[in-house]
Amino acid sequence: MKKWRPIIIIIAISATLFILSLFGLLKWPKNIFWKITNPVGMVLKVSFGGIPKFFRNIFYINSITKQNRNLIEENLNLQSELAKLQETKYENEILKKELNFSKTAPDNLDLFPVAVIGKTSGYLKSVTIDKGEKDGLFKGQAVISQGFLVGTVSEIRPDNAEVILITDYNSLIPVVLQESRGTGLIRGGIGGLVVEDIPLNISIKNNESVITSGLGGVVPSGLVIGVVKEVISKPGEIFQKVSVASPIDFSKLEVLFVVKK
Amino acid sequence: MVKNFIKIFIIIFIALIQIFIMPSFAIFGNWPNLILVLAVILLFFNADPEAVLAACAGGLVLDLASPAPFGLFTILLVIITLLVKLLMSRFFNEPSLLIITLIMICVLFTFDAILSLVNHNFSFTVIGFNILYSLIIAVIFYRLLSIWFDRNQGIKIKLR
């Protein structure tokens, strides 16, 4: 009986927390849990987090060198393109002023950096971040990484929050295809990222960008998600479906940015 | 009393390693469930109360950290641990290494399959690699636990 006492106590705690979860009162225990364990987690990450990176660098050293060379070249090309676009932007601003055009979308996003502090399982497409309600975050805010949308804030607590990734089946975000202007909803799941409900009259181009449409009001428009890979809807379906490729490795997210406005 | 606290502390520490460190060691976006592996390996040492304690305490920590419905990890871990114990006591008193490996593979597949189906991202490839990864962790855990437990108190594994 003595051997089973700690088990009985833990089962009683679990049952209590389960009952609290039914009434939506689990926010505070979870908040306290992350507050207590986050410093321990940071120590563990600093101590052991460098080990896989070290081996990965050795393993991929050849491809990293090639990639570096390509990126330097691409950077130089992009710099010259940027200079041309700055000029175009300036002209655009002048024309807008002339026509009394009001600004609909902000040029610069107000970004708030957050760190990913933990993840329970690879099957749960969700991460916990180290900022919460006290830092001005709220449910539904867009979260980006390297300029691409990766998720939205799904659960908010005083000191931390859950971000549901766009690769999760339950994540649904209104999007628009940048060139063909077809609107749809992007969802994650077994088949990867898929944009559904695109009208049949839209002629979709491969490799065109998929960006957020801003419909619904919370996720701002213009956030890039990825590019169209291929049309996967079958003949006879009443809407088109496309698969989307994102350049982000969702299993290696560390620093994210919450779009405040 | 002190021994129980030490056991619970070690189990919670392993659960924290799973939450904070294991994502860095992910392969195909996934990593083993250390608590599940620990609970099943403890059964091989006939440490039944410790195995159930690992499932309960580890499951509680994972449930607190997880966005999934509360209780999913605890219930899955406890049920699987008890089922494995029942299987071994009823049918496999002196299992061979092959049977032990098959039991581990079935346990790992069941757990991963349930978790992936609940989250709509079932993939045989991902689960297969995760099982192999978990088996390597299981061997490491077995070696480490052999220091703590007397190998003679565990179940007799026939090598042939």
Q: Where are the domains of chain A?
A: 1-104, 111-259
Rg value, chain A, Cα: 23
The mean per-residue pLDDT over the stretch B55-72 comes to 92
| Residues A145, A258: Cα–Cα separation, whole Å | 9
Bridge partners for A149 per DSSP:
A144
Task: State the DSSP string of B20-57.
Answer: HTGGGG-BTTB---HHHHHHHHHHHTT-HHHHHHHHHH
* pLDDT for residue A107: 55
What does the block give as tokens for B74?
């605890």
CA distance A193 to chain B (A): 12
Extended beta strands in A19-59, E state: none
- Per residue in A39-78, pLDDT tens? 989 888 888 877 777 777 777 777 778 888 888 888 877 8
Q: Does B109 touch chain A (CB under 8 A)?
A: no
Could you tell me if the ipTM is greater than 0.95?
A: no
Query: What is the distance between the alpha carbons of residues A125 and A121, in angstroms, rounded to a whole number?
Result: 8
If residue A76 lies in a helix (H) or strand (E), which one and from where to where? helix A61-98
Q: Please name the member of B24, B62, B126 whose beta carbon is closest to the beta carbon of A120.
A: B62
Q: Would you call A4 and B26 a contact, using CB atoms and an 8 Å cutoff? A: no
Percent helix, strand, coil in chain B (nearest 5)? 75, 0, 20
CATH H-level, domain A111-259: superfamily: Rod shape-determining protein MreC, domain 1 (2.40.10.340)
Of A37, A45, A190, the CB nearest to B21: A45
Q: Summarize pLDDT for A191-212 with one digit per residue, the tens.
A: 889 999 999 999 998 889 999 9
What is the C-alpha separation between A158 and A134, in angstroms, rounded? 5
Instruction: Yes or no: say if A196 and A187 are a contact pair by the CB < 8 Å rule.
Output: yes
Query: How many whole angstroms separate alpha carbon B37 and alpha carbon B85?
Result: 14
Residue among B56, B69, B130 minimizing CB distance to A14: B56
**pLDDT for res A25:** 85
Integer-rounded Cα radius of gyration of chain B: 15
A52 with B25: Cβ contact below 8 A: yes
**CA angle in degrees (0–180, nearest 5) for A153-A144-A78:** 170
Tens digit of pLDDT for each residue in B7-19? 999 999 999 999 9
Interface membership of B134 toward A (CB under 8 Å): no
pTM of the model: 0.81
Specify the DSSP element, H or E, that contains A256: strand A255-259
Whole-number pLDDT of residue A4? 77
Q: What is the pLDDT of residue B153?
A: 56
Query: Looking at residue A46, what is its pLDDT?
Result: 83
Q: Which of B3, B13, B24, B131 to mutate to test the interface with A (most CBs of A within 10 A)?
A: B24
Interface contact flag, B74 A168, Cβ < 8 Å: no
pLDDT, tens digit, 9 for 90 and up, residues A80-115: 778 778 778 877 877 776 665 544 444 567 889 999
Q: Which of A31, A40, A169 is nearest to B19 (CA)?
A: A40
Find out whether A162 and A128 touch, Cβ atoms under 8 Å. yes
The whole-angstrom separation of Cα A206 and Cα A200 is 16
> Are B65 and A33 within 8 A, CB to CB?
yes
In this model, does residue A13 exceed pLDDT 80?
yes
